[in-house]
Amino acid sequence: MSGVEQTRRERPHERVTEDGRRVREVLTYARRGSRFTPKQQAAWDAHHDGWVIPDAAVDDPGFSFATWFGREAPLVVEIGPGVGEATAALAATRPAYDVLAFEVWTPGVAEALGRVADAGATNVRWCTVDAVWSLEHLLAPGSVTELWTFFPDPWHKKRHHKRRMVTPEFASLAASRLVPGGAWRLATDWAEYAEQMVEVLDAEPLLEGGVVERWDERPLTKFERKGLAVDRQITDLTYRRVEA
């Protein structure tokens, strides 16, 4: 769970070419508004100091997520938890695990802080730095017990497919960060994206798995209910890291 000992490239939106030009990178998300509701503001004020890792902290060469959790424990990584409905429910039943949630939408983080607090879970930390960059530069190979990617943005327009998270490059990176036997759990309500996920993940030599029955521990979230309301098929997948 310690940081990766290597020279880090700049965080996304900060990359500079050798001739000094700034380059805008292709990201898997779009940043949304930052205005809080009163309830979100109250949760942010109460919990962000202890549970939200400042972006600037990751630039410290000695940065370690374990420092922010205050212990060494098996690590679960969730990418894109939104308002934390699944995060709160799953973390509360896993007190022996640390749950690291990557979410760039700060009102979502604020709402999730309140949900996790209400669930009595103290084992979640949020990071608003790009998740792909963080897995590459801040998490060591074989350091993640489980990876959760529930309903990532499908970027359904063909010209936006390059922004999807589940690509061969990311699959290779994610697989390398899992412990042997560690699970990558995914869910999507976009059938075409589910097909792409299967194609990509089946081709990754460090992973084995496929489409599974709905994970019964994953709570039915507001987002999932919306998908079901318009007759979208929900697809759950689980892949596990095999020995290299």
Q: Which residues are annotated as a binding site?
A: 78, 103, 130, 153, 157, 189, 221-224
- For 193-208, write each residue's pLDDT tens digit: 999 999 999 999 999 9
The pTM of the full predicted model, rounded to 2 decimals, is 0.86
Q: Residue 158 has what pLDDT? A: 62
Q: Tell me which DSSP letter residue 159 carries.
A: G
In the numeric block, the tokens 């359904």 are attached to 156
C-beta separation of 139 from 76 below 8 A? no
Catalytic residue (choose from 153, 202, 216, 236): 153
pLDDT digits (tens, 9 = 90+) for 49-99: 999 999 999 999 899 999 999 999 999 999 999 999 999 999 999 999 999
Pairwise pLDDT comparison (14 vs 89), residue with the higher score: 89
Q: Higher model confidence: residue 32 or residue 228? A: 228
19 carries an active-site annotation: no
* Tokens found for residue 43: 């949760």
- pLDDT number for residue 25: 53
- Integer-rounded Cα radius of gyration of the chain: 17
Whether 24 shows a pLDDT value over 60: the answer reads no
85-118 residue pLDDT tens: 999 999 999 999 999 999 999 999 999 999 999 9
Crossing angle between the packed helical segments 38-51 and 106-119, to the nearest 10 degrees: 80
Instruction: Kindly tell me if the per-residue pLDDT of 172 is higher than 90.
Output: yes
Residue 98 contacts residue 1 (beta carbons within 8 Å): yes
How would you class 216 by CB atoms within 10 Å of its CB: exposed for 0-12, middle for 13-18, buried for 19 or more?
exposed
Residue 139 has pLDDT above 50, yes or no: yes
Alpha carbons 199 and 237: distance in angstroms, whole number: 12
Binding residues for S-adenosyl-L-methionine, as ranges, are 78, 103, 130, 153
Residue ranges of domains in the chain, CATH in brackets? 38-241 (3.40.50.150)
User: What are the distances in angstroms from CA 13 to CA 22, 84, 133, 207?
Assistant: 8, 26, 11, 31
The mean per-residue pLDDT over the stretch 126-152 comes to: 96
